[in-house]
Copies of this chain bind each other. A is one copy, B any other.
Amino acid sequence: MPERRTAELHEAVRRRLEEHNIRYTTGRRSVVTALVRVDGPESTAELHRRMRGVPLSSLYRSLTVLDEAGVVEKHHDADGLARYELAEWLMGHHHHVVCVDCGTVEDVSLSDEDEEMIGRLARKIADRAGYRETGHKIEVEGVCPSCRHD
């Protein structure tokens, strides 16, 4: 991740938090920094491991604040544990591949045509149930390169 991009990203986050009257403190900044480095939703346990010295309670609170401000998005893995990633407006629209073996999640982007196709299908699914669609994603399960041995 280029440094210039990272700086711009922090600036964008700062502005976003400003709109919500929330301070962009060093603690919150370090959470965002940790999330920039990974290429998929990361568990709180792993984030805590990476951020030595940060109390778990503070990490949780920072993530909650950032989630409410729309800076990060909260997901849950197969065990129901929380996983966080930077929001789509920061990282771009993408989908997830989940390894059924080790549980890691990776981001994948598709072409505009493929995205359009998924969008149409998602809208069709929503319509069929009488819902007004607000978002969608494809969750793909598979065996990751380091777990497959065929």
Contacts and interface: CB of A to CB of B under 8 A. Distances in A.
Interface of A: 74, 76-78, 80-82, 95, 97, 99-100, 106, 108, 110, 114, 117-118, 121-122, 124-126, 128-145, 148, 150
A40 to B, nearest CB: 9
Copies in the complex: 2
A104 to B, nearest CB: 10
Contact of A125 (B122, B124, B138, B144): B138
A49 to B, nearest CB: 20
A133 B141 contact: yes
A110 to B, nearest CB: 7
Contacts of A80: 76, 80-82
B126 A140 contact: yes
A142 B133 contact: yes
B108 A114 contact: no
21 contacts: A76-B77, A76-B80, A80-B82, A95-B125, A108-B125, A108-B128, A117-B117, A121-B138, A129-B142, A129-B144, A130-B144, A131-B144, A132-B143, A132-B148, A133-B141, A134-B142, A134-B143, A135-B140, A136-B138, A136-B141, A137-B139
